[in-house]
Chain A
Amino acid sequence: MEVRLTREQVLALAPDAASAKAGGGLAIDGKWALLGADDEALWGECQGSGSKPYQTQVDLAALVSRCSCPSRKFPCKHGLALLLLYAAGNPRCVPQARPAWVDEWLNGRRDRAARKEAAVEAAAVAPPPDPQAQAAATAKREQVRWGRIEAGAAELQRWIADQFRQGLANLPADFHAQGQTMVARMVDAQAPGLASQLEAALGEGAPGLAGLGELGARLGLLQLLTQAVARRAQYEPARLADLRAALGWPVDREAVQRDGEAVHDRWHVQGQWLVEQPGNLVERRVWLHGLDSGRSALVQDFSHGGRGWQEQWRTGSVHAARLHFHAGSVPLRAVVTEFEAPRTEATTPRTDTFDAASQAYARNPWLPQVPMRLQDVHIAHDGTQCWLQHAEGALPLQLPGLQAWALMAFAGGHPVCVMGEWDGQVLLPLSAWNARDERWERSAA
């Protein structure tokens, strides 16, 4: 007799509790106009909110699903529901002829796998490239890029100094347009980090007096960065890595796996969120805490066109995995290998202090954000903004409209534990727990 998945195993695939619940709700025979299965795959058509039914399919060997729905979750609720129906032994999930769209996908997957294998074999057979020649080529490429960045940084440096010379209160009428031109120049100079930080400094529209202070401070920080580019030869490797990260220098995943500091641990998922980026790109940020090592880590992935994620992290669960940290004076970002399925474990929650965040920013002022998990805090709302009251003081929370009230309602005036991203000015809460171990999660932006 064939071995079928259990309901629990299927639910463990869910990216979050909401998906698991939604999947459970859709696992009703009547919602599926078409259902079918064979040895390799499982498929179905489910009526969603769109006009056409969603076509959902699962590769049973790899338990990978694909769906025509626009959800960014992976697997989506339709994929989960389909698996749940299958696990429950739905009588319609019996071997039958595959529709063309299932065949197409499975064949595509098979082809891609074969191509990948062939490429690996070819690489194994091909004579190993001369390491010296390779190193020389890399060094030459880097040098060219540094040259461009240096020229760009010098240009930005002059432009910022010009703004200070004429005074921030006397900015020209076309300041914004000039700034945008500089942003484009920084992209041309292969320094996307400078471009994005300059764009953030420019903000939208003409700044008010408080905005001018903020603009000045951000331009000042950029100025330190342009100076650092010129001085990079004096830096130790960790500081140089900080600089490269701040400039937006892409990091090769394999290089990190090879050279990065590796930590095998039981990683507790503290919080995560999806950020929609322009161009149909979704960024996922997952914050982890090593139960044995006590380390914090950020797993940052990007998915284009709703392709989904390699690892499924569920907030609150614990995964054993090996993390390879990117270099830097505050190593946070990491690449995952040896990822294991979640297990439920009693965890002792870690508590951060303001000091930890302070020290991280003292070591690297260009850090985009650091994790902060604060125990025994109260949530308050002053009518315009949500606040977090900690023993050490109050911090502003970045939560839009009703989400702020949702967190207020969740806390109910009682102390809670809040985990979020601190960007140096405001805390962006991602998850919260109360004394009864109920959880609140930030919904996708």
Chain B
Amino acid sequence: MNQAWLKPALLGIDRPQVIAVGGALDALLQAVADADEPALAYSRQVGVLAACERAAVRTAAAVSVPPPVADDPLQLAADHPWVALLATVFQPGQFSPWGKRLRLQACAQLAAHGRHLPVAVLPQALEAGARLAVLREALRAVLGVRGYWLAACNPEWRYASAPLEAQASAEEVEQVWNEGSSEARLAVFQQQRLEDAAAARTRLQDSLKELPARERAAFVAALQPGLGADDAPLLQALLKDRSREVRALAGPMLARLPDSAHAAYLQAQMAALLQQSRSGLLRRLAWTLEAPATLDPGWADAAIDGKRPNGEVLGERAWWLYQLARQLPLAWWCRTLEKPAAEVVAWAREGDWYQALLRAWLERVDASEPEWVEALVALKETHARKSELLALLPAAQRERYWPAKLQDLIAQGLLDDVLDSTGAAQSLSAAYSQALAPSVGALFGDERLRYDYLLRDRLLELLAVLHPSTLAGVQIAEPPATATDAMLHCAQQARALLALRQALYSPF
């Protein structure tokens, strides 16, 4: 049905008009048009056409139907008791910190049982993954064929593109490399780097020109596994990359290759700044460090920026020193100064260039060097980044830094550290959880929750990171009779959270 009537109706009807649509209807429209004053008659004609239109079921052009998906024997059946549980866990809504952890734990548990998410929960789970990047990795393990199929239907769920089969053919790999999303390309690259490091390097070298800066940085970071002397020429070239992010990444990687010219250059530069002399009453040998006094023309090739950026808190010489130090491996200091990490840090603290060195080391430290982490955690200057540093330590080592009583944790303001340094998918150790568990439940009836809304959230999150084996020992206390709605709500949430976690860790 065309809308021949619309144009006159838009402009206004001030004289008799008959709508002509052709066919038998015209006689009727003519009769309607003749019967009354123009606007009224016209509105009735429109009504006649609208009535006809209703009776015609108008179909749209054929839509592209997605291909049928194969059956997944690992998918939970619709009548499985976990379906309701997972539906509750993945309920759409606000993502609280504990809700985030709960979702991750649900994915991990389901994956541990070797099963995939049920059909009814897939849309909510994919939507949660779209909003929370941290969930994605865990989700991929439990999506199953149907989940990947559904994700492929919705552009917003592209992050969950199906992983390539281990034995994917070369053409498939090429297709993903040429047409896939940036995440999919990165995944292909990471896979190739593990299987054939040289081929991956060549691939990156060939496509550097067309990659935007952010992606270049991601790909360069992905070179890390299997980094070897063969990568040196590529990294050397990247030291002059347009993007500061890429330069900052390539320098330390190259410095880690002991035979590279860059590593030798950096070490020579730093060694020239270090001097050993006898000083003090006992004339002991001691190391002293001086920052570079003048700009070195060679720095331009070593990813060292001679010009201090605006707003930089370090002075010019400290800025140069910091850039040198941030590229050097931490182990070099222990080796050169012949001191363990804690003493190297203590030595730096006595010197003039502490701020520059500390900043460089904090940037450089990672989980592979726990003695450096511990040396840095002990400093009062790193207080603000304590939970970040502690997160680099294994759970048992980390928990030594905290009191075993919940009351003390709260009193010393350390609860935030405990939670922030426990990774999203991790839980506290069984022993430490055992120590905290009895007092967690009691706190839900505590008067402190009346005004301290942050504590309410923190306690709920603590409940979400307790080791699963200790959950049975948690008894959520009844809020006092004078409790506010928020307190009651908090206790209620705690009960629900506890029940959900217990169900997640009960026999499948």
Instruction: List chain A positions with a Cβ less than 8 A from chain B.
Output: 21-22, 25, 47, 49-51, 157, 160-170, 212-213, 216-224, 227, 354, 357-359, 361-362, 365, 378-383, 387, 389-390, 392-396, 402, 405-406, 408-410, 412-414, 422, 424-425, 438
Interchain CA distance A381-B123 in the complex, whole Å = 13
- The 8 Å CB contact of B60, one of A222, A396, A414, is A396
A34 to chain B, nearest CB (A): 15
Q: Would you call the interface of chain A mostly helix, strand, loop, or mixed?
A: helix
Contact B154 A405 (CB under 8 A): yes
CA distance A21 to B80 in the complex (A): 11
Q: Which of B339-347, B461-469, B485-493 sits within the interface? A: B485-493
Given the interface contacts A167-B10, A395-B60, A414-B68, does A222 sit within 8 Å of B47 by beta carbon? Answer: yes
Q: Is the CB of A170 within 8 A of B119?
A: no
Give Cα A298–Cα B495 distance, bound, in whole angstroms.
42
Q: How far is the CB of B430 from chain A (nearest CB, A)?
A: 25
In whole Å, how far is B346's beta carbon from the nearest beta carbon of chain A? 55
22 pairs from A and B in contact (CB 8 Å cutoff): A25-B84, A47-B495, A51-B489, A160-B43, A162-B39, A165-B13, A165-B38, A167-B11, A167-B12, A168-B9, A213-B3, A216-B6, A220-B46, A361-B54, A389-B65, A402-B92, A405-B154, A408-B153, A409-B120, A410-B119, A412-B68, A412-B146
Q: Is A221 touching B50 in the complex (CB atoms < 8 A)?
A: yes
In the bound complex, do residue A218 and residue B63 qualify as a contact, i.e. CB atoms below 8 Å apart?
no
Please name all residues of chain A whose beta carbon is closer than 8 Å to the beta carbon of B92 when the two chains form the complex: 402
Does B119 contact A212, Cβ atoms closer than 8 Å? no
| Complex contact A378–B65 (CB within 8 A) | yes
B54–A220 touching, CB < 8 Å? no
Per-position 1/0 for B48-91, Cβ under 8 A of A: 11110111111111111111110000000010000010000000
B452 at the interface (CB under 8 A from A): no
Asked if B54 and A216 sit within 8 Å, CB to CB, the answer is: no
Take A213-B6, A361-B54, A378-B65 as given contacts and tell me if A395 and B124 are in contact as well, using a CB distance cutoff of 8 Å: no
Q: When the two chains form their complex, are residues B119 and A49 in contact, meaning their CB atoms are under 8 A apart?
A: no
Contact B46 A413 (CB under 8 A): no
Known: A167-B10, A217-B49, A219-B46. A161 touches B492 (CB 8 A): no
Contact between chains at A387 and B47 (CB < 8 Å):
no
In the bound complex, how far is the Cα of B3 from the Cα of A219, in angstroms?
A: 15
Residues of A within 8 A of B60 (CB): 387, 393-396
Question: For residue B492, which residues in chain A have a CB less than 8 angstroms away from its CB?
Answer: 49-51
Cα of A167 to Cα of B126 in the assembled complex, Å: 48
Expressed in whole angstroms, the Cα–Cα distance for A48 and B35 within the complex equals 65
Contact A212 B62 (CB under 8 A): no
- A409–B150 contact, CB under 8 A? yes
Instruction: Say whether A220 contacts B43, CB under 8 Å.
Output: yes
A282 to chain B, nearest CB (A): 22
- State whether the Cβ of B127 lies closer than 8 Å to any Cβ in chain A: yes
Inter-chain contact A393/B84, CB cutoff 8 Å: no
**Residues in chain A near residue B13, CB distance under 8 A:** 164-165, 167
Knowing A49-B492, A51-B488, the reply to whether A212 touches B10 (Cβ < 8 A) is yes
Chain B: CB-nearest residue to A407:
B123
Q: In the complex, what distance in Å separates the CA atom of A387 from the CA atom of B153?
A: 13
Say whether B84 contacts A164, CB under 8 Å.
Answer: no
B42 touches A (CB below 8 Å): yes
Q: How far is the CA of A410 from the CA of B150 in the complex (A)?
A: 10
Question: How close is B88's CB to chain A, nearest CB, in angstroms?
Answer: 10
B154 touches A381 (CB 8 A): yes
* B64 CB contacts on chain A under 8 angstroms: 380
Partner of A170, one of B12, B56, B58, B485: B12
Task: List B contacts of A166 (CB < 8 A).
Answer: 12
Contacting residues, chain B, for A221 (C-beta < 8 A):
47, 50-51, 54
Chain A nearest CB: distance from B89 CB in Å?
A: 14
By a beta-carbon cutoff of 8 Å, the part of chain B in contact with chain A is 3, 5-6, 9-14, 37-40, 42-51, 53-69, 78, 84, 92, 119-120, 122-124, 126-127, 146, 149-150, 153-155, 485, 488-489, 492, 495-496
Question: Which residue among B6, B43, B48 has the maximum number of chain A CB atoms within 10 Å of its CB?
Answer: B43
Question: Contact partner of B9 among A164, A224, A392, A405, CB < 8 A?
Answer: A164
Partner of B84, one of A21, A358, A383: A21
Which of B46, B58, B64, B146 has most A Cβ within 10 Å? B46
Chain A residue with the shortest CB-CB distance to B50: A217
A216 and B9 contact, Cβ closer than 8 Å, known pairs A413-B65, A413-B69? yes
CB distance from B160 to the nearest CB of A (A): 13
Q: Which residues of A lie under 8 Å from residue B119 when comparing CB positions?
A: 409-410, 412
For A52, give the chain B residue with the smallest CB separation. B488
B40 contact set on A, CB distance < 8 A: 157, 161, 164, 223
Contact of A167 among B9, B46, B67, B123 (CB under 8 A): B9
- Whether A394 pairs with B42 at a CB distance below 8 angstroms is no
Nearest B residue (CB) for A355: B57
- Are A219 and B154 CB-contacts (below 8 A) given A161-B37, A394-B59? no
Q: Determine if A412 and B62 form an interchain contact, defined as CB atoms under 8 angstroms apart.
A: no
CB-defined contacts of B126 to chain A, threshold 8 Å: 405
Q: Which residue of A lies closest to B157 (CB)?
A: A405
A201 to chain B, nearest CB (A): 11
Q: How far is the CB of A387 from chain B (nearest CB, A)?
A: 4
- The smallest beta-carbon distance between A316 and chain B, in angstroms, is 13
Contact of A224 among B44, B62, B149 (CB under 8 A): B44
Closest to B479 in A: A51
A217 touches B53 (CB 8 A): yes
Complex contacts, B54 vs chain A, CB 8 Å: 221, 361, 365, 424
CB-nearest residue of chain A relative to B59? A393
Contact call B57/A380, Cβ cutoff below 8 A? no
B57: which of A160, A220, A422 is its contact (CB, 8 Å)?
A: A422
A220 touches which of B50, B56, B488 (Cβ 8 Å): B50
Cβ-defined contact, A406 with B62, below 8 A: no
Q: A51-B485, A165-B13, A167-B9 are in contact. Are A358 and B57 (CB under 8 A)?
A: yes
Smallest beta-carbon distance A250→chain B, Å: 25
Contacts of B495 in A (CB 8 A): 47
**CA A425 – CA B485 in complex, angstroms?**
46
A322 to B43, CA, bound (A): 43
A402 nearest in chain B by CB position:
B123
Q: Which residue of chain B has its CB nearest to the CB of A217?
A: B50
Cβ of A91 to closest chain B Cβ, rounded Å = 23
Residues of chain A within 8 A of B68, CB atoms compared = 412-414
Task: List the B residue with the shortest CB-CB distance to A22.
Answer: B84
Q: Which residue of B lies closest to A367 (CB)?
A: B54
Most chain B C-beta atoms within 10 Å of own C-beta, residue among A164, A168, A357, A424: A164
Chain A positions within 8 Å of B14 at CB level: 165
